[in-house]
Amino acid sequence: MTSTYLYGANVQANGIRQHYLRYGAPSQPSSVGAARQPLVIIPGITSPAITWGFVAQRFGQHFDTYVLDVRGRGLSSSGAELDYDTDTCAEDIKAFIDALGLEDVILAGHSMGARFALRAMSRGAGNVSKLVLIDPPVSGPGRREYPSRLPWYVDSIRDCTHGADIETMRGYCASWSDDQLQLRAEWLHTCYTPAIVQAFEEFHTVDIHQDIPGIQIPTLLMCAGKGGVIQTQDKEELQRLLPSIRITTAENAGHMIPWDDYEGFFAAFEDFLGHAP
């Protein structure tokens, strides 16, 4: 596959530097005289934008694709002076779209990123025409706990801060390829531990179900068949809250769906995006 990577850049939005990577081929529009539809990807809790590059490369064949470094990760603003709560990170997404002047956006979030994207919509994000929620944690007050444990994140960040190699990362992500492990070993140290801790804690203290009923655009919920994050009763509840929601499952994947089953991840979009990714 020919690379669709264009560049990395920074934009001031919501009072911080937001770094992103862009993929696509603007000189070769998907149809004569038509610009490519923007697709904005919000990664998960410890996934700097670059770790989604292998996914964005493929999306870039059909979409003007942007992968965001969420604050406290990658090359976006980070540090003790910033807030990292769900509402603030949702406002980052709204401001990012506005700062780049994007229109008719497909907004896709994975895990934590899906929660932030959903909250951005409930807080009035504009110029978004479709929403994709990829295996979002459905934990919250009085609900089943998120299946991962905080030390898995904190310990791996600590190891990478000190300097880790592929074998160190293999202890955390045994099924990943060497290329994936190498990238994680290189970039995980950019994840600011207090930001990760707060996000993880808010998986359990912030209930995103309140944001579901007000969604008024086509919405896809993609579930991991082997992830344990979204179970049958969760799908049923979300369908009741938003009857129009479309639910698909990548049956052979764990929570990190494209890492576990690359083709199955894209197949789970079905025809929702308008192009077969």
CA atoms within 13 A on the CB side of 65: 27
Residue 118: name the closest of 22, 250, 214 by CA.
Answer: 214
Q: Under CATH, to which class is 5-267 assigned?
A: alpha beta
Residues pairing with 109 in the sheet: 42, 133
pLDDT of residue 33: 46
Average pLDDT over residues 86-106: 98
Which one-letter amino acid corresponds to residue 109?
A: G
Residue 106: name the closest of 136, 121, 123, 128 by CA.
Answer: 128
Residue 45 tokens, joined? 């809790």
**Three-class SS string for 194-256?**
HHHHHHHHHHHHCCHHHHCCCCCCCEEEEEECCCCCCCHHHHHHHHHHCCCCEEEEECCCCCC
pLDDT of residue 34: 62
Q: Look up the pTM and report it.
A: 0.96
pLDDT of residue 32: 46
Residue 130 tokens, joined? 């479709």
Is 85's pLDDT higher than 80?
yes
Work out the number of other CB atoms within 10 angstroms of the CB of residue 99.
13
pLDDT of residue 41: 98
Distance CA 162, CA 62 (A): 39
Residues 45, 112 contacting (CB under 8 angstroms): yes
Residues 246, 219 contacting (CB under 8 angstroms): yes
Average pLDDT over residues 125-154: 97
Domain chopping of the chain, boundaries: 5-267
Residue 192 tokens, joined? 């600011």
Is 27's pLDDT higher than 70?
no
